[in-house]
Amino acid sequence: MKSKVLRGCKFLQDFLREQDQYKFGYDLSVKEQSRGPRKVKQIKTLTGEVLCEASDMAKQFTAGFGAFNSEYQRINNQISKRCKAIERASKTLSYQCFGLSTELDNLQALIRTKTEIPQFSNLYQRMSDLMRLAGELALHQGYMVNDSLNAQFKYQREQGRTSFQEAYLLVQGADFKYAKAHKALEAEKYKLFKK
């Protein structure tokens, strides 16, 4: 294999090395089972204690969640307002371009009646077409910014309200379950030592 990424992929190497797909599937399932427990409830120890620590990133997320979520919502609202302002400004710009195109058409008609030089009147026609196309481009760009970018950030804003809040509530629920289990364990220890 020439690719370093593919050469370093153990799964791909095992897949290519094994001819029998059933044996490969069996080996894969054995490896998945040998990874060990995936939930805290699956861990059994003699002392009944499991060392669990939240990662630094998880602590940072939960510690500053309220400020993070409010700032996230504020920034998303500002992006939404700016996208709408860009669309409004692009409409204004496009209307000005369309007005300029109309005036250039009027100028071309006036020049055509006064002179016999077609290149001179065609110059104003081309400038009019250019301004009309520039107006259409500005109008469509403003629409695209508001439609696609604003829609994306609106989706993210809604996710910030639901997903982040849900994740935060899950963390709080886990903390509550831990505290409740710890309190029950301490009460059980107290009863056992009392006897």
pLDDT digits (tens, 9 = 90+) for 34-49: 665 556 555 665 566 6
Q: Quickly tell me which residue has 């409409």 as its tokens.
A: 91
User: Angle, to 10 degrees, between the axis of helix 118-144 and the axis of helix 65-114?
Assistant: 160
Query: Does residue 150 contact residue 80 with C-beta atoms inside 8 Å?
Result: yes
pTM: 0.51
Alpha-carbon gap, residue 87 to 18, rounded angstroms: 58
The pLDDT, as a whole number, for residue 155 is 79
Distances (CA, A) of 57 to 29, 62, 63, 133: 31, 9, 10, 51
The pLDDT, as a whole number, for residue 119 is 83
Kindly state the tokens that stand for 118: 């077609």
Alpha-carbon gap, residue 97 to 128, rounded angstroms: 9
Q: What parts of the chain have a pLDDT lower than 70?
A: 1-13, 15, 30-62, 160-161, 195
